[in-house]
Amino acid sequence: DAGITQSPRYKITETGRQVTLMCHQTWSHSYMFWYRQDLGHGLRLIYYSAAADITDKGEVPDGYVVSRSKTENFPLTLESATRSQTSVYFCASSERGQGYEEQYFGPGTRLTVT
Amino acid sequence: AQKVTQAQTEISVVEKEDVTLDCVYETRDTTYYLFWYKQPPSGELVFLIRRNSFDEQNEISGRYSWNFQKSTSSFNFTITASQVVDSAVYFCALSEGAGGGNKLTFGTGTQLKVEL
């Protein structure tokens, strides 16, 4: 399907486990982003990527790892999940990084860490 | 550092009332972009509008209108004759100009409830 997809949509994991959230876009957009949404904080940027093999930290990167070996994929890994990482995670993409482009968001992944 | 403030956490109105959602931003950049996104109960984020820092014209799209005032660093959103389908969380966001990587700084959102 065209667009931006995330998997899984829902995930429950235990503290200390590694979990990977997947993001895939079909537009060949250069830029991709990971945000987390928490009540009282809105959406906060975790990591972003300007192109394959180029990634950079956002506002709240601690505890997360990203990679981008292919333009269309941008997985987010929690190496050792903590309860504070319970959140809704959104992936987004945009064509370029000029500041004015609309970002297209995936449907979100609701992650619960027990 | 950039900051977006949406002081209204939750607003409740009765259908057909007009409602204004406030957004105040802080940035040191002279070129920047402001956005509004809607998040309905289904959870997806829907782009509504974009404004650049050099264009202070107000914009109207159907029942929606936006008022951008650089003098007060505000980018407010008004829904005229609200409807139940407008019930959602609305986010205001700020992006730096070219070279900023298109990163968005979001406000904390305003939950709008429109009741019959």
Mean pLDDT of chain A: 94
Q: Report strand pairing: B110-115 vs B88-96.
A: antiparallel
- pLDDT computed for residue A47 by the predictor: 97
- Chain A CA closest to residue B110: A42
Tell whether B53 is within 8 A of chain A (Cβ). no
Q: Report strand pairing: A10-13 vs A109-113.
A: parallel
For residue A70, pLDDT beyond 90: yes
Total residues belonging to chain B: 116
> Averaged over B56-79, what is the pLDDT?
93
> Averaged over A54-64, what is the pLDDT?
95
Tell me which H or E stretch contains A31: strand A31-38
Return residues 21-40 of B near A (CB < 8 Å): 31-33, 35, 37
Distance of CA A2 to the CA centre of its chain: 18
CB atoms within 10 A of CB B105: 23
For residue B69, pLDDT beyond 80: yes
Tell me which H or E stretch contains A28: none
- pLDDT computed for residue A75 by the predictor: 98
Residue with tokens 């959140």: A87
Cβ within 8 Å of residue B98, ≥6 positions away: A97, A98, A99, B31
For residue A35, pLDDT beyond 90: yes
DSSP conformation letters of A64-91: EEE--SSTTB--EEESS--GGG-EEEEE
Q: How many CA atoms lie within 13 A of B45 on its CB side?
A: 29
In order of A19, A69, B39, B103, the CA distances from A8 in angstroms are: 10, 20, 20, 24
- pLDDT computed for residue A51 by the predictor: 92
- pLDDT computed for residue B99 by the predictor: 63
Q: How confident is the model at residue B56 (pLDDT cuts 50, 70, 90)?
A: confident
- Which residue spans within chain B are E strands per DSSP? 3-5, 10-14, 19-21, 24-26, 32-39, 46-52, 59-61, 64-69, 74-79, 88-96, 104-106, 110-115
Q: Tell me the β-bridge partners of A89.
A: A36, A109
Minimum-distance CB partner of A45 among B32, B96, B103? B103
For residue B98, pLDDT beyond 70: no
Tokens for B112? Answer: 């709008």
d(Cα B105, Cα B26) in Å, to the nearest integer? Answer: 10
For residue A63, pLDDT beyond 90: yes
> Averaged over B98-115, what is the pLDDT?
88
Tell whether B85 is within 8 A of chain A (Cβ). no
Give contacts of A98 with chain B, Cβ < 8 Å.
97-98, 102
